[in-house]
């Protein structure tokens, strides 16, 4: 059977080497005769795993010492709420930049929790001839005392990525669910970074939070204890039973990334993969993208067949060729190829070959 390449946006494909390792030690982890799923999270073996995972993540992302690394429950949406409850208190306000579906959802959650009067929402996408482009206004010109600015540097559904670092007078909270560890970033420019694990980190059920310690002094709203950052820090992310299997797999992904030469090497590959796909899309009249060059996501390549009546045929034939989960999100239609760290260049090459053949057959 020829290879299957999984372009799902999340839960997404994991590195084959990590899955093979997990399979090999599924029933007997660490020579203990039991699975990693079956051991206490407080056992010394599991704690060693969590310490290594944190050390590896710190090394991979060059996380400064004045930042805490938390492994939490609740995915990306859990953090939409946690950020508000941990930082806004009774009278705090926040600014939400909107560049696609997930940043809208984050802003809506904030409004639900603290009301419209405490949440300012600023659209930063301009559409010209159906092409979306991010235009960030001069934030220093906004005279408001926000507790934080929230944005989503990679909009998974829309295929929009913001590569420039923001110049913000307020601490930046970034939802990096779909582009964490895809390229180097300067963590010290952020107040808090969060990510649901199920794209570039591991399976769902886990979210990673990287938070600057001074933000933990902000006033809090009453909230569920399991989403309380200070409790998570105090209890080394084990206030309650953590998602241990997801944590274990994340730890394996971090080791795999280090073995691949770290994020800088991964970034080169990611650029190569994305360029191969966008160059092909640009080179013909059969397909199109609707995102300006400067904001084309390296992780989620959204594209359309110019004749959309061929969509079903495209998806069916792609699946037959072993290229699965290419259907775009139902809210935007078209196609989406999610090409996270685990997607090898061969997968992108196979996709380009298929797209070329499909177009030639039809024309």
> If residue 338 lies in a helix (H) or strand (E), which one and from where to where?
strand 335-338
Q: Tell me whether residue 112 is one of the annotated catalytic residues.
A: no
Residue placing its CB nearer to ligand PMP in the complex, 81 or 350: 81
* Closest CB 103 distance from ligand PMP, rounded Å: 8
In terms of CB distance, is 175 or 228 closer to ligand PMP?
175
Annotated ligand binding at 156? The verdict is yes
Measure the CA angle with vertex 261, ends 259 and 262; round to 5°: 95
> Is 175 tagged catalytic?
yes
Integer Cα distance of 100 and 124 in angstroms: 9
Q: Choosing from 102, 170, 247, 256, which is the catalytic residue?
A: 102
Minimum distance, C-beta of residue 324 to ligand PMP, in the bound complex (Å): 17
Site string for ligand PMP, 52-91 (x = CB under 6 A): -----------------------xxx--------------
The C-alpha angle 116, 222, 110, rounded to 5 degrees, equals: 25
Among 29, 102, 190, 248, the residue binding ligand PMP under the rule CB under 6 A is 102
Q: Using the rule CB under 6 A, give the single segment among 85-93, 116-124, 174-182, 280-288 that binds ligand PMP.
A: 174-182
Residue identified by tokens 């699965």 is: 324
Work out the angle at residue 211's Cα, subtended by the Cα atoms of residues 57 and 145, and round it to the nearest 5 degrees: 150
271 annotated ligand binder: no
Distances from the Cα of 254 to the Cα of 205, 246, 260, 291, 310, angstroms: 17, 12, 10, 31, 40
Distances 105 to 2, 108, 157, 262 between C-alpha atoms, Å: 39, 5, 12, 32
Should residue 329 be labelled a site residue for ligand PMP when binding is judged by CB under 6 A? no
According to the annotation, is 77 in a ligand binding site?
Answer: yes
User: Is there binding between residue 175 and ligand PMP (CB under 6 A)?
Assistant: yes
Q: Does 92 bind ligand PMP (CB under 6 A)?
A: no
Question: In 10 A of CB 310, how many CB atoms?
Answer: 15
Is 133 annotated to bind a ligand? Reply is no
Contact 308, 328 (CB under 8 A): no
Q: Which of 56, 99, 158, 175 is catalytic?
A: 175
Task: Scan residues 187-216 and list those touching ligand PMP (CB under 6 A).
Answer: 196
In the chain, which ranges are continuous DSSP H helix?
A: 16-24, 44-61, 75-87, 101-114, 229-234, 244-259, 262-282, 311-320, 345-362
Cβ contact 237:231 at 8 Å: no
Provide, rounded to whole angstroms, the least separation between the CB of residue 96 and ligand PMP.
Answer: 13
Query: Rounded distance, CA 327 to CA 331, Å?
Result: 11
Is 177 an interacting residue with respect to ligand PMP (CB under 6 A)? yes
Q: Which of 50, 86, 132, 156 binds ligand PMP (CB under 6 A)?
A: 156
Residue 183 annotated as lining a ligand binding site:
no
Among 81-89, 172-180, 218-226, 246-254, the segment contacting ligand PMP (CB under 6 A)? 172-180
Output the six-digit token pair for 116: 């419209």
Q: Which residue of the set 56, 199, 228, 273 is catalytic? A: 199
For residue 10, state whether it binds ligand PMP (rule: CB under 6 A): yes
3-class secondary-structure state, position 150: strand
- The span from the CA of 306 to the CA of 285, in Å, is 8
Residue 200 assigned ligand-binding role:
no
Query: Does 289 count as an annotated binding residue?
Result: no
Q: Which residue has the tokens 């909270």?
A: 173
Judged by CB, which is closer to ligand PMP: 329, or 356? 329
Helix, strand, coil proportions of the chain in percent (round to 5)?
40, 20, 40
Candidates 15-23, 139-147, 171-179, 255-263; binding stretch for ligand PMP (CB under 6 A): 171-179
Sites of contact with ligand PMP (CB under 6 A): 10, 75-77, 102, 152, 156, 175, 177-178, 196
Residues annotated in the binding site for pyridoxal 5'-phosphate, as ranges? 76-77, 102, 156, 175, 198, 240-241
Q: Which residues are annotated as a binding site?
A: 42, 76-77, 102, 156, 175, 198, 240-241
Q: Which amino acids are annotated as binding site for L-glutamate, given as ranges? A: 42
Q: Which residues are catalytic?
A: 102, 175, 199
């Amino acid at each position: 059977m020829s290879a299957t390449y999984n372009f799902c946006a999340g839960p997404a494909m994991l590195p084959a080497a990590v899955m093979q390792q997990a399979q090999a030690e599924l029933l007997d982890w660490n020579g203990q005769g039991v699975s990693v799923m079956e051991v206490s999270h407080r056992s010394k073996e599991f704690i060693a795993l969590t310490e290594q995972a944190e050390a590896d993540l710190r090394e991979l992302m060059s996380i400064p010492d004045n930042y805490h690394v938390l492994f939490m429950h609740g995915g990306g949406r859990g953090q939409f709420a946690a950020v508000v409850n941990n930082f806004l208190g009774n009278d705090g306000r926040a600014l939400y930049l909107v560049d696609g579906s997930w940043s809208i959802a984050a802003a809506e959650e904030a409004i639900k929790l603290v009301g419209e009067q405490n949440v300012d929402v600023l659209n930063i996408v301009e559409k010209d001839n159906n092409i979306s482009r991010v235009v960030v206004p001069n934030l220093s010109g906004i005279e408001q005392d926000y507790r934080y600015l929230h944005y989503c540097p990679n909009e998974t559904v829309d295929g929009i990525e913001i590569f420039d670092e923001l110049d913000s007078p307020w601490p930046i909270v970034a939802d990096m669910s779909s582009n964490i560890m895809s390229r180097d970033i300067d963590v010290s420019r952020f107040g808090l970074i969060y990510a649901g694990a199920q794209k570039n980190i591991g399976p769902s059920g886990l979210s990673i939070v990287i938070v600057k310690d001074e933000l933990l002094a902000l006033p809090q709203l009453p909230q569920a204890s399991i989403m309380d950052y200070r409790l998570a820090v105090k209890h080394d992310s084990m206030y309650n039973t953590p998602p241990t299997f997801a944590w274990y797999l994340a730890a394996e992904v971090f080791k795999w990334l280090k073995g691949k030469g770290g994020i800088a090497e991964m970034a080169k590959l990611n650029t190569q993969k994305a360029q191969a796909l966008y160059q092909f899309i640009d080179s013909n009249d059969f397909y199109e993208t609707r995102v300006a060059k400067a904001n084309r996501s390296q992780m989620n390549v959204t594209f359309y067949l110019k004749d959309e009546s061929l969509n079903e045929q495209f998806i069916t034939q792609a699946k037959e060729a072993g290229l699965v989960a290419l259907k775009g999100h139902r809210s935007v239609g078209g196609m989406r190829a999610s090409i996270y760290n685990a997607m090898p260049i061969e997968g992108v090459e196979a996709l380009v070959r298929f797209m070329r053949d499909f177009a030639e057959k039809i024309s």
